[in-house]
């Protein structure tokens, strides 16, 4: 059996991930010798969004069926895997930052920082962080301060951070609560461009909720986050958009999944630090 080159901490929503945005990069990374370790906000098993294994699913903004037969087969082969049965529970692994109104706030804040330092020391055991997309992250990953603390921890260690689709939004909000400056400032990134956004039909696993359009325009968030020193690259009209500006590897949407996996391997194995613009 081939020895593992190391573990990649992979964050999945409990409200639905887009299948190939996990399985596409997973196939490339595992072929290269890396092991994916899964985590969710509650520790519950993550579920793939049904359209992500349906070749007949029609994407209104793009005017085409977006799930290829090959991608559907890949997702179907993995979505019920026992490997997803017992993910890390972020709510018990990462500490909770106390409210300022909490009784004995100062002691609680000190305890939070002690616990956070201990958790961050455990990140030394991982090669990279991977944030999977889909609509689910909108609800439980993007504005999850435990996820933010993981991003900050990997960033402080200089380790790679890959994000695809709405997983990219987490990078906008991962900020030190004292400095409150964005990690993406001055960086080149890609993400869901305005032209890809739904006007209706943003749904989730485990509920009949139709949010309608997404609650924010990711392109606008990213353009503001990178500031005048950086740049957002939507690459509308091009079949894929994957941008690497180390330590951040970002991808626009599901069509980029396999290329995103290739660039992830290039970053880890070949020292690639810039590509896509």
List alpha helices for the chain, DSSP H: 19-31, 69-78, 90-93, 105-122, 137-140, 145-156, 169-173, 218-226, 257-270
pLDDT at 91: 98
Residues 135-190 pLDDT 10s: 999 999 999 999 999 999 999 999 999 999 999 999 999 999 999 999 999 999 99
**For residue 72, is it within any domain?**
yes
pTM score, two decimals? 0.97
- Counted domains in the chain: 1
pLDDT at 3: 77
Q: How far are the Cα atoms of 42, 84, 277 from residue 64, in angstroms, in the given order?
A: 34, 30, 26
**For residue 50, is it within any domain?**
yes
- Structural element, H or E, at residue 12: none
pLDDT at 1: 46
Residues 14-27 pLDDT 10s: 999 999 999 999 99
Q: How far, in Å, CA of 248 to CA of 235, rounded?
A: 17
**For residue 163, is it within any domain?**
yes
**For residue 98, is it within any domain?**
yes
Within the chain, which residues score under 70 in pLDDT?
Answer: 1-2
Of residues 243, 257, 192, the one with CA closest to residue 26: 257
**For residue 1, is it within any domain?**
no
pLDDT at 160: 98
78: which 2 tokens? 């993995």
Q: Domain of 63: which CATH number?
A: 3.40.50.880
Its domain, for residue 199, covers 6-275
Q: What would you report as the CA-atom Rg of the chain, rounded to the nearest whole angstrom?
A: 18
**For residue 89, is it within any domain?**
yes
């Amino acid at each position: 059996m081939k020895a593992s080159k190391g573990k990649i901490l992979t964050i999945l929503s409990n409200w639905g991930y887009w299948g190939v945005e996990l399985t596409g990069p997973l196939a490339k990374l595992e072929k290269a010798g890396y092991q994916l370790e899964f985590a969710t906000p509650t520790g519950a098993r993550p579920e793939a969004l049904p359209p992500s294994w349906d070749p007949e699913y029609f994407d209104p903004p793009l005017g085409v069926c977006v799930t290829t037969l090959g991608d559907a087969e890949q997702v179907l082969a993995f979505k019920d895997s026992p490997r997803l049965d017992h993910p890390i529970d972020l709510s018990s692994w990462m500490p909770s930052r106390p409210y300022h109104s909490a009784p004995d706030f100062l002691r609680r804040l000190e305890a939070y920082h002690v616990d956070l330092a201990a958790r961050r020391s455990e990140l030394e055991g991982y090669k990279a962080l991977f944030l999977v997309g889909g609509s689910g992250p909108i609800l439980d990953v993007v504005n999850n301060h435990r996820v933010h603390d993981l991003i900050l921890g990997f960033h402080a260690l200089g380790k790679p951070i890959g994000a695809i689709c709405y997983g990219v939004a987490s990078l906008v909000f991962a900020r030190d609560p004292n400095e409150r400056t964005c990690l993406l400032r001055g960086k080149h990134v890609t993400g869901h461009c305005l032209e890809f956004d739904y006007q209706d039909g943003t749904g989730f696993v485990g509920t009949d909720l139709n949010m309608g359009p997404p609650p924010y325009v990711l392109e606008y968030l990213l353009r503001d986050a990178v500031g005048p020193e950086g740049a957002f690259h939507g690459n509308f009209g091009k079949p894929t958009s994957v941008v690497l500006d180390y330590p951040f590897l970002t991808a626009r949407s599901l069509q980029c999944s396999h290329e995103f996996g290739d660039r992830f391997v290039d970053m880890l194995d070949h020292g690639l630090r810039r590509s896509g613009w």
